[in-house]
Structure 1
Amino acid sequence: MATEAQWRRVSPPRSEVPPYSQFVKPIQKSQQDDREYRIIKLDNGLEATLVHDLKADKAAASLDVAVGHLSDPDDMPGLAHFCEHLLFMGTEQFPKENEYSEFLSKNNGASNAYTSTSNTNYYFSVATAQLPGALARFAGFFHCPLFAPSCTSRELNAVDSEHKKNHQSDLWRIFQVSKHLSKDGHPWRKFGSGNRESLSKAAKDLKAKQKLPLIEWWSKEYCASRMHLCVLGKESLDELEELVSTLFSPIPNRQVDPLPMFYDHPFGPDEKGTLVSVQTIMTMHVIEISIPLEYQGFNWRHKPANFLAHFIGHEGPGSLYSYLKQKHWVSGLRAGPQVAVRGFEFFHLTIYLTSEGFKNYKSVILSTYKYLSMLRESTFERYHQEEIASLSETRFRFLEKKRPDTY
């Protein structure tokens, strides 16, 4: 977390550009990286990472809001997702319903968004010369959306259609089973995507031009201090920061918690030690072992969960995978931490079984837990961590340049 001493106050020469703060510490980047970077913080609390790329074939931007479907009202599952859909449908500055999408389409661009457990992310790409116009339309989502009643039915249908499509997704089905098996009353159990039934009241209120509950929810949760923006363009860093300060300073700071955390893990003692069978749509045999894990964000420097994953996912002689492969029980194995939400995680082991392995799934599980017990009793030499760090450093040094819209 940056301290106040690491920010320098900037008052732009043009009076119409609001002042902001500039992060003064050098930003470490790959030796292969020819882009330039700068981080600024607006007076409303929004932080923005600016990227200057003179060779860019497209400009791009993404804004992340630190609120997701775990913050849905208990009686209105899917409201965060519904809100995400409706923000695209016009703003006070650009009231035409599809103005944003049409502008991007005419200028070789595209856009999308997603709602996760504790974040909602919006992003777009556009022809480099049209970045200012795209950003002007984009910024309005977060301080003056119209929530036009005329769009309500169509967007409700879109949300409902997404939900129905998910019925055929094995990953989504297994995810929902996991949520259902968690603690009673825990936010993790919430139905994040929503559907017509769960959102009908919100839609009716909008059609009747009543503010409750969607607009009140947006007014409370969409706070500038919860937002992180990234903008990539050909403009200089000075030009980008003035553009961002001008367009995004109107977003209000609502004086709420800038980073809501969910530290209470949904899988306590009563929820552990269960074996659940799921009939899949696709033909596959997989064992997934999920181990509750405390939040690892504070361990970013040493990454102990990744250290453990290095050994569990190892495929050389003496490894778990090697043993199971010799038995003809598995075709693949993956292991590692997964951030479920900002506040708690899982350590997942995913084991892909052969037909023979499926017949012996209990032996596969037993072998896995014995291997974990062996690791728990082991002493690890220092060179293991140094090797992992060296590989990570090499990957960072020779990082390939990504497209602006996926960066």
Structure 2
Amino acid sequence: MANVAQHILTPAVIRARYSGYVLSNGVKCVIVQDENAKMPAAAMSIHAGQLNDPAELPGLAHFCEHMLFMGTEKFPKEDEFDSFVSKASGFANAFTADCDTVYYFSVSDGSLEGALERFVEFFAAPSFSPGAVAREVNAVHSEDEKNHNNDYWRLDELIRGFYNPKHPRSRYGNGNLTTLWDEPQERGIDVHESLKAFHSRYYLASGATIVVVTSRAADEVLRLIEGPLARMKQGAVPRFSFLETDEPLFTSAALASWTNLRTVRKMRELRLMWPVRSPSSSWRTMPSAYITHLLGMSATPPCLGC
């Protein structure tokens, strides 16, 4: 069911053994055998995030992230995974970024098998029960309310306000009751069905990568995860809408402007922003990171002035 992938190169100082696999349906697996790992851990990355939100449902990717913790077809109890992890002296969480959603957990060594069994079902067959959907949207809203006093969150929202409203990045990625419930209800949009459709469209095997760190042998771990993960839907991951649009990220009115933000706590920060072409095609070399590193250097004389 699984094919051994290309050997993973690691620095000589790393003693852990890295094994890479690609399942028959395209799921990529990295298993790290580390004899010093006291608590095994796992993370799953799905190549879909806030920039995949439909225009009529800002925050849907984040809402989907929340819902995967609310039960699966095999383990329908809403707090099944969190309860199991808690009893195993572990922790679990997730985050939704622009282009990816990442789920992760860590548990005591004897609980890895049970945790993985429950975890991988998130991606194969979540339940999306209508009752849980109606309740969990309030948790998303509470998270949104909490962020209003976070200065960095406020700064990001200020910057988003300068984006071209026709560009996908201008959408509100976190979501709240207004964007995920009240307005969709008024427009006749079925949020429950939209969540299922989002998962079906974007949670595809070809866009999934799982990493497991444990003291166990790689082939033993692979046997635990390959069955459920093989049930993930196959297909090509849709291109991001921001790669398809010809709309500029900023309107001309937003350029060459200066804005002050009144902060909640005492802090001073200066941000300079230039719109540039998407660096997604040059992710291996990351030229934008190199440029920002040079600009941020404190060498005397500055490197760029040499």
TM normalised by structure 1 equals 0.68
Q: Distance in 2 between matches of 1:50 and 1:262?
A: 33
| Equivalent-residue separation in structure 2 for 1:245 and 1:259 (angstroms) | 26
Which structure: larger Rg? 1
Alpha-carbon RMSD: 2.5
Letter in 1 for 2:119: F
User: Does 1:278 pair with 2:278?
Assistant: no
CA shift for structure 1 position 53: 1.1
Partner of 1:291, secondary structure, is coil
Q: How many residues align?
A: 300
1:244 aligned to 206, 219, 225, which one? Answer: 225
Q: Quick one: structure 1 residues 301 and 96, their matched pair in 2 at CA, closer, same or farther if it must change by over 3 Å?
A: closer
- Compared with structure 1, are the counterparts of its residues 83 and 201 closer, same or farther at alpha carbon in structure 2 (3 Å cutoff)? farther
The alpha-carbon deviation at position 295 of structure 1 amounts to 3.5
1:21 aligns with 2:29: no
**In the alignment, which residue of structure 2 is the partner of 1:175?**
156
Quick check: 1:113 aligned with 2:94? yes
SS where residue 44 of structure 2 aligns? strand
How has the CA–CA distance of structure 1 residues 268 and 40 changed in structure 2, closer, same or farther, with 3 Å as cutoff?
farther
| Aligned mates of 1:185, 1:259 — CA distance in 2 | 18
CA distance in 1 between counterparts of 2:45 and 2:204 reads: 11
The alpha carbon displacement at 1:184 in A equals: 2.5
Partner residue of 2:242?
262
Looking at secondary structure, tell me which structure has more strand per residue: 1
Gaps of 5+ in 2: none
Matches within 5 A, 1:131-150: 131-150=112-131
Q: Evaluate the alpha carbon distance shift between residue 85 and residue 310 of structure 1 in structure 2; reply closer, same or farther with a 3 A threshold.
A: closer
State which of 79, 90, 93 in structure 1 corresponds to 2:74: 93
Q: The residue matched to 2:29 in structure 1 has which SS?
A: strand
Shift of the alpha carbon at 1:292?
2.2
What amino acid does structure 2 have at the position aligned with 1:295?
A: S
Counterpart CA distance in 2 for 1:210 and 1:303 is: 37
Higher relative contact order (CA 8 A, sep 6+): 2
| Contact 1:58/1:126 (8 A) holds in 2 | yes
TM-score normalised to the size of structure 2? 0.89
User: Residue 48 of structure 2: SS of its match in structure 1?
Assistant: coil
Secondary structure at the counterpart of residue 292 of structure 2 = helix
Letter in 2 for 1:44: N
For residues 73-222 of structure 1, the aligned pairs below 5 Å read: 73-200=54-181, 212-222=193-203
Quote the Cα distance in structure 2 between the aligned partners of 1:184 and 1:273.
Answer: 18
Q: Are the structure 2 counterparts of residues 43 and 214 from structure 1 closer, same or farther at C-alpha, using a change threshold of 3 Å?
A: same
In the alignment, what sits opposite 1:397?
A: none
The aligned residue for residue 271 of structure 2 is: 288
Could you say what secondary structure the match of 2:270 adopts? strand
The one-character-per-residue Cα deviations of 1:237-265 (angstroms, maximum 9, x if unpaired) are 12122222123111111x23366473466
Mind listing any 5+ residue stretches in structure 1 that lack a counterpart? 1-18, 321-374, 381-407
Q: 2:50 matched to 1:56?
A: no
Deviation at 1:132, TM superposition (A): 1.4
